[in-house]
Chains A and B, each alone.
Chain A
Amino acid sequence: MNHSVKRLRYVLKRLLQALPIVLAIVVVNFFLLHMAEGDAVDVLAGEAGSATPEYMAELRQKFGLDKPLPVQLAIYLKNVLSFDLGYSFRHEMPVSQLVLDRFVPTLLLMVSTILLAVGLGIVLGLIAAVGLNTWRDNLISVFALVTYATPLFWVGLMMIVVFSLNLGWFPTSGMENIAAFHTGWDRVWDIAHHLVLPTITLSLFYLALYTRLMRASMLEQAGMDYVTTARAKGVTERRIVFVHVLRNALLPVVTMAGVQVGALIGGSVIVESVFAWPGLGMLAFEALFARDLNLLLGIFLLSALLVVAVNLVVDIVYSLLDPRIEVS
């Protein structure tokens, strides 16, 4: 009980610590976006085709884009602190609603990718390290090197050509078979089916990363004194690998997984684009080119929070794996 209170306090403290970072991200991006030429009104007017300067001025006033920058920022920050992300200029919807709509697919893709990349990476790294310099090790190392070096979009396009068009195993794109409108378990199955190719594509790069890290980490740990101690106790090699070395070797992998989350969300833009996955990355991309300031800031805010949250989870996992780290 005392422990869980401690952990809760830790979580709260960490969130509080993250607050300045998240706000700083918002502020930095706010100014960066204002450095960009043109604004949301230019885009909307360009799309509508025939807006007069008067109409555009009216729109700017409506969006609050006519106010001086510091005032705009102050208003935005005030709203954010009261959990109001504002209104998307372009979608004419509250940003929170838009962003939350796209959050679930992002989370789905992210979690499945991390699970696959970390899980399989650990397994492959382990196999490679255990069979050091055997054909298994070489095969896995070559696989990791090649996948690490292949551009994501290329993999994605090739996956579609091979697995969707030629073999017909998986759908080309999207998150659901929209012609069908499945419900219940059918829908879960359908989404899982659509998830396969994007997940594999996105995870390949990270899979390679974790495989290499895990292998190196296993090898490093295998040289540690406690392994010698375990051998001196007569413990089997199997147990040395799976009980002694594995848990220690996992630590850097877990740390890396936490560091990579930010990159992962960003890297998903390409995958989302190729597979028409309705995630935050694509939304951010669109928002940027529509100069949909509120929306973009909202996305940055949410993804920053997401990264913070994942890092928190990683830290807690880490503290579970490593008793030396105390969560307090």
Chain B
Amino acid sequence: MTRENLAHFWRLYRRNYSAVAGLAILAAIIALAATAHFFFPDDPFKLAGRPMSPPATGGFLLGSDSLGRDVAAGIAHGAKTSLLIGLVATLVAVGFGALMGGLAGYYGGWIDDLLMRTTEMFQTIPSFVFAILLVAIMKPSIESIVIAIAVVSWPAVARLVRGEFLSLRNREFVQACHTLGMSDLRIMLGEILPNCLSPIIVTGSLMVATAILIESGLSFLGLGDPNIMSWGFLIGAGRTVLRSAWWVCTFPGLAILITVLAINLVGEGFNDALNPRLRERR
């Protein structure tokens, strides 16, 4: 995108106040993740003080957990992991989904049939159970969680991209490229793909949110990576002491809620700004 395009985009985007608020929150969370090492230089797993200290006591802003770890530090460091998992899983899912959907939509015929049956298959399997299965098989680690989330998320992207490719491949500008003798690959990547980026970005931004939720669900069921601090980990670790130390579970839960909320708002903002047809509605 050029600068003028960006400026145009921003003009449209900022008309949606809640989206601007979402962006601000998200920026704050990213800043938190980026500065985690500055404000909380210690390992977030470090036993920093008296276990189960309530918020604002014992030097713990948001309290400490059952081992005396700082919940605030955990949230700050966990932000990085959760955002990273959300982002990477989404990128993988979007990449793969776009590949499958793009090929299916562009070529049609038996390729479409085959790829779409495969997609359907993945949509027919109960997705969360499948994610659990994958993590269990690959053993809980941040990589396997990312892969599992991506595996259950890509079909939605594939369907979306297929639809876009289907409609775009018959657009005249694409046909013009055919008449110029352009290769399929270049048409797909250079001509069609840029034109379906908007819906992909919108869907992708919402998928980041979903990925964070899935990660927390997996952690809740005990399938998180035990070596890496994430919000899901905090909740999984805190749920056992939920009734006696509400803060251990509540603050990471709120962090997830706020982040997912912010991402959703940003996604809606993207949608409004990128989708001119809906623009007038707000």
Contact = CB atoms under 8 A, between A and B. Distances in A.
Interface of A: 18, 20-22, 24-25, 28-29, 32-33, 35-36, 132, 145-146, 148-154, 157, 161, 216, 219-220, 259, 262-267, 269-270, 273, 281, 284-285, 288-289, 299-300, 303-304, 307-308
Contacts of A308: 124
A273 B259 CA distance: 25
A52 B276 CA distance: 69
7 contacts: A22-B124, A150-B253, A220-B278, A265-B126, A270-B128, A300-B129, A304-B125
Nearest to B130: A266
A10 B121 CA distance: 20
Nearest to A220: B278
A105 to B, nearest CB: 15
Contacts of A288: 129, 132-133, 136
A263 B278 CA distance: 28
Interface in B249-282: 249, 253, 256-261, 264-265, 278, 281
A162 B264 CA distance: 28
B124 A151 contact: no
Given A24-B121, A161-B243, A151 B128 contact: no
Contact of B129 (A145, A154, A161, A285): A285
Contacts of A20: 117
Contact of B249 (A36, A154, A263, A265): A154
B209 interface: yes
B121 A151 contact: no
Given A151-B220, A273-B221, A36 B127 contact: no
Contact of B281 (A25, A219, A267, A300): A219
A10 B216 CA distance: 41
Contacts of B221: 269-270, 273, 285
A267 B124 contact: no
Given A149-B258, A266-B130, A267-B128, 17 more contacts: A21-B124, A25-B125, A28-B121, A149-B260, A150-B256, A151-B253, A151-B257, A152-B213, A153-B216, A153-B217, A266-B126, A266-B128, A266-B152, A269-B128, A281-B126, A303-B125, A304-B124
A63 B52 CA distance: 48
Interface string B83-123: 00000000000000000000000000000000001101101
A149 to B, nearest CB: 4
A219 to B, nearest CB: 5
Nearest to B271: A216
Contacts of A262: 123-127
Contact of A281 (B117, B129, B249): B129
State which size class the interface on B falls in: 35 or more
B257 A146 contact: yes
B239 interface: yes
A20 B235 CA distance: 40
A303 to B, nearest CB: 5
B192 interface: no
Which residue of A21, A132, A259 has the most chain B CB atoms within 10 A of its CB atom? Answer: A21
Interface in B222-267: 235, 239, 242-243, 249, 253, 256-261, 264-265
A255 B256 CA distance: 29
Given A146-B261, A154-B249, A266-B126, A33 B121 contact: no
A33 B137 contact: yes
Contacts of A265: 126, 129
Given A21-B117, A29-B133, A152 B264 contact: no
Contact of B120 (A21, A132, A270): A21
B134 interface: yes
Given A20-B117, A21-B124, A308-B124, A284 B137 contact: no
A149 B209 contact: yes
B131 interface: yes
A149 B257 contact: yes
A270 B217 contact: yes
B137 A35 contact: yes
Given A262-B123, A265-B129, A281-B129, A148 B136 contact: no
Interface in B205-222: 209, 213, 216-217, 220-221
Contacts of B253: 150-151, 154
A134 B22 CA distance: 21
B273 to A, nearest CB: 15
Contacts of B249: 154
Nearest to B118: A24
A263 B127 contact: yes
